[in-house]
Chain A
Amino acid sequence: RQVTVQRKEKDFQGMLEYHKEDEALLIRNLVTDLKPQMLSGTVPCLPAYILYMCIRHADYTNDDLKVHSLLTSTINGIKKVLKKHNDDFEMTSFWLSNTCRLLHCLKQYSGDEGFMTQNTAKQNEHCLKNFDLTEYRQVLSDLSIQIYQQLIKIAEGLLQPMIVSAMLENESIQGLSGVKPTGYRKRSSSMVDGENSYCLEAIIRQMNSFHTIMCDQGLDPEIILQVFKQLFYMINAVTLNNLLLRKDVCSWSTGMQLRYNISQLEEWLRGRNLQQSGGVQTMEPLIQAAQLLQLKKKTQEDAEAICSLCTSLSTQQIVKILNLYTPLNEFEERVTVSFIRTIQAQLQERNDPQQLLLDFKHMFPVLFPFNPSSLTMDSIHIPACLNLEFLNEV
């Protein structure tokens, strides 16, 4: 037994061989039936590395049909898993990580010098010898985009029900409830009966969960940044749209609470080292709306201050918020018609978009920058729980 182990360690060249008839079993055990939890504690993206080592052996034996068949089955297997788990963040994130990693491997070991600059000499030995898989890389890139879109859809679906109550209705600043506009004090949302109320902490908990899962699964850091930019944009759009339609939240106190909530979200991004995501920048319209609620709205100087501050809000949005603005009590005045006219006059040269509401379903285009791995194929160990004993190390 000892002799066998020694031979394997010495000779393993980072390739995996299997019989053609075992391909279906390979895809079943490694893709369609795999539970991400089974792989906790192993190298992130292990399925991608195993698949690459199988592709490499088929390339080494110059078996183009085997390469075609394995890649096609892999891609179809991944699509099948995603369809079955189309509301499972963890599963979707897992296959996004692995699809991107397989794509990176096909680049890193393509033999194309542009992708080999960070390879060690040992890694260069693990390049493909016979086939150029550029077209399959395109397919994997298209598949990665599909998986990313599914991931965002799932994350948005989980966050969206929390946004209005957490951002606009929940009062975490002590003493603020005493200064809510009269007549609206007890109202929550027109669609929420109070039981579905969330605080900002719920949003933060949910985002912590997303972030931990994506990091543990080895999803590329650049992709994680793009996920949070997209989610912050959605939080911004849903909150602003509600603000633009609800008189009861257009008040000084909501402005104050909103600014505090946004600062908590900024703090969260910093705490997770995600400030480069651009998430805060996507919230600029909401930040300005919160400030607009808090600014004085009476004199010519106030109008000028508003116009120079609210550059990310359209004239239509500014005017709408001013019209909806609800005084706190009998001592605060409503915004006068003449003040709103002054603002309109000052902003008339702006070439603003006509629609009032933001498209909360808008998606930023995603990019998957090449991210080579420092891992060497011959160091990868296949755990017994994967039931892949029919793979022979070569």
Chain B
Amino acid sequence: GSQRPRPRVLLKAPTLAEMEEMNTSEEEESP
């Protein structure tokens, strides 16, 4: 009721394609 929630902080996210790239490069780095 009376409590007004404070604004939430936007969490930036990579796109699905960017996530894929990051994941692929991590896999390549690991032996």
Contact = CB atoms under 8 A, between A and B. Distances in A.
A127 to B, nearest CB: 8
Contact of A136 (B5, B8, B13, B20): B13
A121 B13 CA distance: 30
A72 interface: yes
Contacts of A134: 10
Contact of B11 (A136, A142, A143): A136
A257 to B, nearest CB: 46
Contacts of B19: 72, 75-76, 139
Interface stretch (A63-71, A230-238, A285-293, A333-341): A63-71
Given A72-B19, A75-B19, A76-B23, A111 B13 contact: no
A248 B20 CA distance: 50
Listed residue (A75, A111, A143, A146) with the most chain B CB atoms within 10 angstroms of its CB: A75
Contacts, number: 50
A129 interface: yes
Given A72-B19, A75-B16, A75-B19, A129 B11 contact: no
A8 B28 CA distance: 44
B15 interface: yes
Contact of A139 (B9, B16, B23): B16
B8 A132 contact: yes
A133 B16 CA distance: 15
Interface residues of A, number: 23
B16 A64 contact: no
Interface string B1-31: 0000101111111111001100100000000
A71 B13 contact: yes
A129 B12 contact: no
Contact of B8 (A76, A79, A111, A143): A111
B5 A135 contact: no
From DSSP, what is the main secondary structure of chain A's interface residues?
A: helix
A124 to B, nearest CB: 10
Nearest to A137: B13
A360 interface: no
Interface in A317-376: none
Nearest to B10: A132
Q: Which of B7, B14, B16 has the most CB of A within 10 A?
A: B16
A32 interface: no
A128 interface: yes
Contacts of B12: 135
Sort A-B residue pairs by CB-CB distance and give the 6 closest, nearest first: A135-B13, A132-B8, A132-B10, A142-B16, A136-B13, A131-B11
Interface of A: 64, 67-68, 71-72, 75-76, 79, 111, 128-136, 138-139, 142-143, 146
Interface of B: 5, 7-16, 19-20, 23
Given A132-B9, A142-B16, 8 more contacts: A76-B23, A130-B8, A131-B11, A132-B7, A132-B10, A134-B10, A138-B15, A142-B15
